[in-house]
Structure 1
């Protein structure tokens, strides 16, 4: 049994709450939220104690794990508070707004002897896990290039629209784009060079990006991401991986805000001289699976190997290099 404090009560906090409810031995003892209306709605739905002060919550409740589902600009502060209180932490992506903050978070957890995992959910998403598995197995030979994309309309769920403010969220170039940047790192290995072009929204935020990454063994990744789509354009994501012996491709459309993420399209594998192969790689909900993985690691004293702080730092490093590239029109060498 592990007691958990959930920080935040927005959309992703609700997704995490539903995941925690399914995990045997996971006990949500309280949640933290400073916006009264949001707190009231969350408390009415889940009937768990509410606190508007994290120190008070940690003082009054016995807590083993803190789940940080707060806006990105708050991640460093609340991870450091939780680490200094001796709590294990899972923190939503992006890890932080910049590499300096992300490294400080990692160091604080190491100093205080607590575990930290970053919520890079694609590492637990069936079709992305299967792609990584197929690549590792050599199903399409040596990887030459990877294309991935993630497109949506502008998010409307954040309080005072913090998600649309570059200085608070990093814009889509950091917040949304980072999913596929992490996936590219997972498949591609060590990134050495980043070049990106982007489109700014009316508020000056880089909200549509096309980023090219070169990896040390020659793989090229081309990643598109943004939330400037219009009308009823559905949340769209997918990838195409080219190898010396074949191609792996997958695409999915999941409603406005990933509501239909439980639906599935097959992965398609194309190989020279063979019929196309379709694989149904649908798995359980990725957010539940990442929480369960983290919980099992803590409960059984296992080393966290997926979505580690180093993975989170590297993803932030690539995303911020992309932002620098867009702003200056240059290739950024890492």
Structure 2
């Protein structure tokens, strides 16, 4: 299968190098408006460099394209790819607005191409283990969840991250990982209440999700932390408690040195002997789904539902009230 990558920053490099390692997958093109980035990644992977997506569509033959662009650019490129008959593998979030997301889904359906969204946390072994423990009833009835995901501010290296209209802020770009995971693990969300503090140096959010099954999840996300990127989860159920902390893992972790200019500390992927990158697992899964017509672990509908929760959280920040996803009688919020 022939593939291409649009966007040669940190995530683009991850996708490109992952494809190069896959059997029976050929990376034929990498594209970025920054010619130096495109040429450098092309030299590393053996792909052809482009600075224009239109040129790549005309001059390169491929079946699927990874969109590893700033979030506000997902819609136009996804629609353009769909109209050209290319399957789309889009980094999260699907888009920054509900209408844009629906337009992307509709375009891919209209042109009979697949739309996969990179909610990669579903492919982290420890999170897969959490989901399995919940599904098997090992924790009993889940009551309360606490989760955090914190790291340095990506806007220090990529200024567009500090523009909420382009990145969606820490809730849309970082916390959405945990929003998607816990919707997957615990079911549909009933209501959302959120707090958000933003300055030039930091973007901090605390969001409480009330699930239809009665569970409560308190999610914390922070850009601007001075230490290493880290995550932690505690899930308390009627039969026990499950804890995971990336800073307390007993396994040997080797963190790769970041590429010059690559985002640092807020998106590190731990590596260890025998450890397979969740991005490699995710992309191999998407390619396998394309080849065999299988349903992916995470669907475009899942990505849209995660975005709906993000938008509800932002509305809660604006109003100071809880926002109900399925409106109760008599009002929208309480």
Scaled by the length of structure 1, the TM-score of the pair is: 0.88
**1:134-171 Cα deviation digits (max 9, x unpaired):** 11011111111221110011125754x11221111011
Q: Which has the higher strand share?
A: 1
Tell me if 1:224 matches 2:220.
Answer: yes
Q: In structure 2, what is the equivalent of residue 242 of structure 1?
A: 236
For residue 29 of structure 1, report the CA deviation from its aligned partner. Answer: 0.4
**1:295-319 Cα deviation digits (max 9, x unpaired):** 0011112122x22111111111111
Question: Within 5 Å, which residues of 2 pair with 1:296-315?
Answer: 296-304=288-296, 306-315=297-306
Over aligned residues, Cα RMSD in angstroms? 1.8
User: Are 1:90 and 1:116, in contact at CA under 8 Å, matched by a contact in 2?
Assistant: yes
Q: In structure 2, what is the equivalent of residue 322 of structure 1?
A: 313
Q: Distance in 2 between matches of 1:126 and 1:283?
A: 10
**1:50-96 Cα deviation digits (max 9, x unpaired):** 11221221121111001110110000000000111111111001111
Q: In structure 1, what is the equivalent of residue 287 of structure 2?
A: 295
User: Measured at CA, do residues 48 and 285 of structure 1 come closer, stay the same or move farther in structure 2, by a change above 3 Å?
Assistant: same
Q: Distance in 2 between matches of 1:9 and 1:258?
A: 15
Local SS of the residue matching 2:61: coil
Local SS of the residue matching 2:94: coil
Q: Distance in 2 between matches of 1:19 and 1:219?
A: 37
User: Are 1:10 and 1:158, in contact at CA under 8 Å, matched by a contact in 2?
Assistant: no
**1:251-270 Cα deviation digits (max 9, x unpaired):** 00486244451259xxxxxx
Task: Give 5+ residue unaligned stretches, structure 1.
Answer: 265-281
User: Are 1:146 and 1:221, in contact at CA under 8 Å, matched by a contact in 2?
Assistant: yes
Q: Distance in 2 between matches of 1:182 and 1:163?
A: 20
Local SS of the residue matching 1:223: strand
Q: Distance in 1 between matches of 2:52 and 2:157?
A: 20
Q: Distance in 1 between matches of 2:268 and 2:216?
A: 31
Q: Distance in 2 between matches of 1:99 and 1:328?
A: 19
Alignment match of 1:174 (pick from 150, 172, 175): 172
User: Measured at CA, do residues 182 and 201 of structure 1 come closer, stay the same or move farther in structure 2, by a change above 3 Å?
Assistant: same
User: Are 1:86 and 1:113, in contact at CA under 8 Å, matched by a contact in 2?
Assistant: yes
User: Are 1:126 and 1:283, in contact at CA under 8 Å, matched by a contact in 2?
Assistant: no
**1:269-327 Cα deviation digits (max 9, x unpaired):** xxxxxxxxxxxxx95210000000000011112122x2211111111111111111112
Question: Within 5 Å, which residues of 2 pair with 1:155-234?
Answer: 155=154, 158-159=157-158, 161-202=159-200, 207-230=203-226, 233-234=227-228
User: Measured at CA, do residues 258 and 72 of structure 1 come closer, stay the same or move farther in structure 2, by a change above 3 Å?
Assistant: closer
For residue 202 of structure 1, report the CA deviation from its aligned partner. Answer: 2.4
Q: Distance in 1 between matches of 2:23 and 2:269?
A: 25
Q: In structure 2, what is the equivalent of residue 261 of structure 1?
A: 270
Q: Distance in 2 between matches of 1:199 and 1:156?
A: 15
User: Measured at CA, do residues 145 and 75 of structure 1 come closer, stay the same or move farther in structure 2, by a change above 3 Å?
Assistant: same
Q: Distance in 2 between matches of 1:263 and 1:52?
A: 35
Task: Give 5+ residue unaligned stretches, structure 2.
Answer: 248-252, 256-264, 326-334
Q: Distance in 2 between matches of 1:61 and 1:8?
A: 16
User: Measured at CA, do residues 288 and 42 of structure 1 come closer, stay the same or move farther in structure 2, by a change above 3 Å?
Assistant: same
